[in-house]
Structures are given as C-alpha cells and as structure tokens.
Structure 1
Amino acid sequence: MKKILILSGKGGTGKTTLSSSLIRLLDAKAYADCDVDAPNLHLVMEEENEPLKSDFLGLPAAYIDPAKCISCDLCRQNCRFDAITNINGYIVNDHACEGCKVCTLVCPSDAIEMVPRVIGHLSLYKNGHVFSTAELKMGSGNSGLLVTEVKKHLYVNSKNADIAIIDGSPGIGCPVIASISGVDLVILVSEPTISGFSDMERIIKTSEGFPAKVAVCVNKFDLHLENTEKIISYCSENGIPFVGTIPFDKDASSLINQGKTLADKDGPARDSIIKIMERSMKILNEGDN
C-alpha cells in the first residue's frame, strides 16, 4: 500500500480541502485524519455508519485515595508542578500532573498510586473503506503517540488497499513527525503569503530527515502571483518537485459545509487538483517496476 501524506506548515492553507479531494478522485479505500488536536476530515467525508470508538491512554497520573490519606501535606509540598490541591481533601489535577511519581515516594501511608488516564478518543469507520481518526482531549499531551495509533489502526484494517491518503497536522511538531514516519510521499500545501513561504521552508527541512518523497503545491495561488512565483522558484532551486497550483474558489466554504469536496464541483479548482493528483502519482510511482 502506497501512503500519501498531506501537510502544511500552518493551519488554514487548504490541507484538508486537498486531502478530501484526492480521496474522492482516487476513490481511496483507506484514509486517516492525523490532525488529532482539531480533526475535521470527518465533516467532509459524510460517514454513514457510527465509528468503532476506543479510549487512548496516556502516561499515568497520580491518584490519592481519600480513605488512606492522613493529610500530612507532604505530597503537595513536594509536587514541583503544583498539581495537588487541598480543597475539601487532597486532589490531583490531571492536566498539571506530569507523572513523575515523587508524591508516591514521599507519601507515608501509601495513599497515592499511578493510574492510566484517558487523553484522547480513537474512531474507526468501516463502510466499504477504512477511515481512522482521533481527537485529543483538551489540555492533554502525547499527540504524537495518538497520531501513531491512528495510523496503526488504518494500516491494520486496510491491508488490501492500494493507496492511503493521510491528512496530517499543521506545523512541524511531534504530531507532524509522527505523521511523516513511514509514508511514501509528502505533498506540502503552501499559500502565497510571506508566512506561508516561511512555514513551507520549515516543513521541508523537517521532512528532510525522512526517506519520503516531497512535493509542493500552492493553494489560492491567484491571490498573490508574486509570492506564488517565489515558491515555484524556491522549489526549482532546491530540486523539489512542484506539482501545481489551485485557484481561489469562492464556493469552497459552501461545498465543505455541504459535506462535499472541490472534486465534486466542475471548474478550474477541480481541474487543477486533478493535475496535482496526476503529477503526484507519477512521483509516487517513480522507480517502480
């Protein structure tokens, strides 16, 4: 199975718009949303069945058993993260607890234990295709681990699929690094702005540490032609395949609100995405016998 990952150096560039369109055009039977902090691919793909849901457990957090607690206050005094409060009894703030276990070591009555905590929820849709996604609980960490689990669910349940489309996270942090791992092609969606160019450079440098092939496209290119040319020149000078541009489409928002993609509407945007798809597939399959 070939794996294509759609990334962007920042949010709002059109990453999910391109991902959903490629899924539609390629009739992909396996796809995932690895933007676990703010997943939205499910809003476009209109899944008919309810997903199989499961909890994702992060690092353990401390729990104080009120029946054993003798209110010595040693746990609160020694907590470097101020995660323990004494308001009508000793309570641990899960969001502040880093799981260092110091409180368990200083407690004289063995009233504290480390227990697994739910930091996110995984969803797996099966309806003639496989769609894996997840959502991280607000304030929780370990998003990279959750992304890895999303991909694992996708691969295990879609072994017969020819291609998988993965909608990645914005930025260059842990969830992006976890998204890039093991994929064959990364398509970077940039925008013709100064910040868009800078963010594109950052994600390209991040991708250099992985064996995946990298290609670039520009969304809403006609909003600033000069910056678009700057991005194209950068790709040419650095040997990075540039696979195309997508014009601004004023109907994009209304299509997404209807659960549709740009590929569902005839016009310049759809034609441009088809060209990006064809060029990307050519890059993806280079070297295959």
Structure 2
Amino acid sequence: MREIVIISGKGGTGKTSITGAFAALAARRGEPTARPPVICDLDVDAPDLHILLAPRPEREEDFISGNEARIDSALCLGCGACAAACRFGAIHEKDGAFAVDPLRCEGCKVCVAVCPAEAVAFPARHCGHRAVSATRFGPMVHAQLFPGQENSGRLVSLLKTEARALARERGLELILCDGAPGIGCPVISSLSGVDLAVAVTEPTPSGRHDLERVAALCAHFRVPLAVLVNKADLNPEAAEGLAALCRDQGHALLGELPYDPAFVQAMARGKVVTELPPSPTSEVLTQAWEHVLRLAGRPARRAPLQPLNAQGE
C-alpha cells in the first residue's frame, strides 16, 4: 500500500485542484481493471475537496475530543472559587451567577477540582463530524471541525487510520491525501507514515519561503518530497529559482503548470481539470502523476534528522 499526501506551505496554491486531478488520473490509470485510490481530505479546518468530488456519505460519525466545563446554576454556591482558579479567564460572573465561556475553556478541569459544591460538570466536547463517502474516483474519508474547535491533529490521525483500514478492507493499493496548508499540527499528522509528499508552490517570494519551510518539515520527519510549480509562466525567473532550489536540495521537480483558467472552469462545473478535453495543463499533470507513482514506489532516501527551530525552519 502506498500513501501520498499533497501539501503546500500556504493556502491558495491550487493544492486541492491538483489532488482532485491526481485522483481522476489514479482512478482511470489506463486499464479497465485499475483500482481506484482511497481519497482522504486532511484539511479538517476548512475542507473543500468535496466541492470537486461531490461525495455521497455512506457512514457518518461525530468527532468527540476533549472536555468542556459547565456550571450547574442550581448547585452553584456563588463562592467564585472556580473563577479564581481558572488561568484562562473562562469563568465569568453576571448577577451573582457563574458561567463558563466555551471559547476560552481549555478543558483543564481545575474548576471541577476546586468546586466545593461539585457544581461543575465536565462532559465530552462535540468538535465536529467525520464521514466515509463514495465519489466517482473512489471512496473518500473526510471531516469537518466546528469553527474554533481544536484537536485538528488528532482528527487527521483518525482519518488516516480510517483510510488505511478502508484500503485493506477493499483491497486498494493507494491512499491519496489532500493535506492542510502550512506546517502546523494537521500537516505534521498528515505526514505520518507517508511514502511521498508532493508540495505545490508558486513562483513568488512567499511561495519560495513557504516551500522552504515545508521542505524543512519533510526533512525533519524524513519524508521524501517532490515539488510541482503552479502558474510558473507568470514569473519564469522565480520559477527557475524554485527549480534550482529543488536541484540543490535533492527534491524531485514534477513539472511546471501554466496559469490556466481551466481550473476555475472545471470547478464551476463540479469537475477536475483532467476531466476536461486534453490540454497542455492536463498533459503536465499526467506526466507529473506518472512521476509521483514512480517516486512513491521507490525506497525512501532518508535524510539526516534535523531539529526545527521555533519558526519551523
């Protein structure tokens, strides 16, 4: 079983559109007997792969993670011990009654421990939902956190476990993941156990900076990295700089995509760009996908483990 994750150091690089295009290429890959991939959307804070793939839920579950304090006003003595002990300022008083602000509560449970009347309940927190769905390119595992909720790294880990179990159950050999942007907890979780990370970048100063950050993250966790440059023709000089960076650091350069309105046209029709008539863009993506499969099937060249500083560099 091979596992590939598409990532980017920043949002808006076209990562999700390219993941959808790769999913289409993986599902049809030449032979009628080709097996589809398990598709996994790991951007649980702001998922959007469903816009392209129109998943049909087969199984849905609540995501329960952590706890949240709640004060029973009928039992509360109004002593204020909980408010005095809370380091996060999550407990406030109004008209002699104490209540918990759920946006400030960190679930530390100190208010439960200090309440003399045992008036503070500590129920599990409902943070979002996750699902296994069917798409035209294969089964899809995805989730959505509620606004402001945490534990995205844990939810990503659950989705990856679900995707692997689904692949084993259905005899599928490929897991294709759409990762979150940036280098935070959900991205770190998404890199666990993968055979290859594909970074989508742009020929801009911020694109180069964020590629360097995500490359350092992959090197730290010893994950092989390949790079795909989007909108390369908008700044050929910067695109060449990205290619030089890949050569210097030993990252495979999968190709350079032109700026192409077909991505937007495909999205407006609920399709991916490789479902449209053949074009230079779809040709680059097809060649890039074949390169991805070769790289993912190759034993990883492990880089020395390097520490990250506070900026992730």
TM-score of Structure 1 vs Structure 2, range by shorter chain: over 0.9
Contact 2:167/2:174, CA 8 A, preserved across alignment: no
Please give the alpha-carbon distance, in whole angstroms, between the structure 1 residues aligned to 2:156 and 2:84: 36
- The equivalent of 1:155 in structure 2 is 164
Deviations 1:72-117 (A, max 9, x none): 1211222111111233632212221111222112211111132110
Please give the alpha-carbon distance, in whole angstroms, between the structure 2 residues aligned to 1:287 and 1:140: 38
- Note the C-alpha offset of 1:211: 3.5
Do structure 1's residue 112 and structure 2's residue 120 form an aligned pair? Answer: yes
| One-letter code aligned to 2:88 | F
Please give the alpha-carbon distance, in whole angstroms, between the structure 1 residues aligned to 2:167 and 2:193: 15
Q: What TM-score does the superposition give when structure 2 sets the normalisation length?
A: 0.88
**Which residue among 150, 154, 176 is the counterpart of 1:141?**
150
Do structure 1's residue 41 and structure 2's residue 49 form an aligned pair? Answer: yes
- The equivalent of 1:275 in structure 2 is 287
Please give the alpha-carbon distance, in whole angstroms, between the structure 2 residues aligned to 1:85 and 1:199: 41
Contact 2:54/2:135, CA 8 A, preserved across alignment: no
Q: What TM-score does the superposition give when structure 1 sets the normalisation length?
A: 0.95
Q: Partner of 1:158: helix, strand, or coil?
A: helix
Aligned-residue CA RMSD in angstroms?
Answer: 1.6
Please give the alpha-carbon distance, in whole angstroms, between the structure 1 residues aligned to 2:232 and 2:58: 37
- Note the C-alpha offset of 1:126: 3.7
Please give the alpha-carbon distance, in whole angstroms, between the structure 2 residues aligned to 1:46 and 1:119: 23
Please give the alpha-carbon distance, in whole angstroms, between the structure 1 residues aligned to 2:135 and 2:259: 32
| One-letter code aligned to 1:94 | P
| Percent of residue pairs identical | 36
- The equivalent of 1:60 in structure 2 is 67
Contact 1:120/1:146, CA 8 A, preserved across alignment: no
- Where does 1:58-97 land on structure 2 (aligned, <5 Å)? 58-87=65-94, 89-97=97-105
Name the stretch that deviates more: 134-143 or 13-22.
Answer: 134-143
Contact 2:53/2:135, CA 8 A, preserved across alignment: no
Q: Partner of 2:220: helix, strand, or coil?
A: coil
Contact 2:201/2:230, CA 8 A, preserved across alignment: yes
| One-letter code aligned to 1:43 | I
Q: Partner of 1:59: helix, strand, or coil?
A: strand
Structure 2: runs of 5 or more not aligned: 28-35, 301-313
- Note the C-alpha offset of 1:209: 2.1
Q: How many residues align?
A: 287
Deviations 1:130-158 (A, max 9, x none): 20111111111111111111111211122
Name the stretch that deviates more: 169-178 or 208-217.
Answer: 208-217
**Which residue among 180, 187, 193 is the counterpart of 1:169?**
180
- Note the C-alpha offset of 1:287: 4.3
Please give the alpha-carbon distance, in whole angstroms, between the structure 1 residues aligned to 2:37 and 2:198: 19
**Which residue among 189, 192, 199 is the counterpart of 1:181?**
192
Contact 1:5/1:165, CA 8 A, preserved across alignment: yes
Deviations 1:237-266 (A, max 9, x none): 111111111111112112112111111122
Do structure 1's residue 252 and structure 2's residue 224 form an aligned pair? Answer: no
Deviations 1:200-245 (A, max 9, x none): 0000000112233211110111111001000000111111111111
Q: Partner of 2:122: helix, strand, or coil?
A: strand
| One-letter code aligned to 2:156 | V
| One-letter code aligned to 1:282 | R
- Where does 1:169-248 land on structure 2 (aligned, <5 Å)? 169-248=180-259
Please give the alpha-carbon distance, in whole angstroms, between the structure 2 residues aligned to 1:228 and 1:198: 13
Contact 1:130/1:158, CA 8 A, preserved across alignment: no
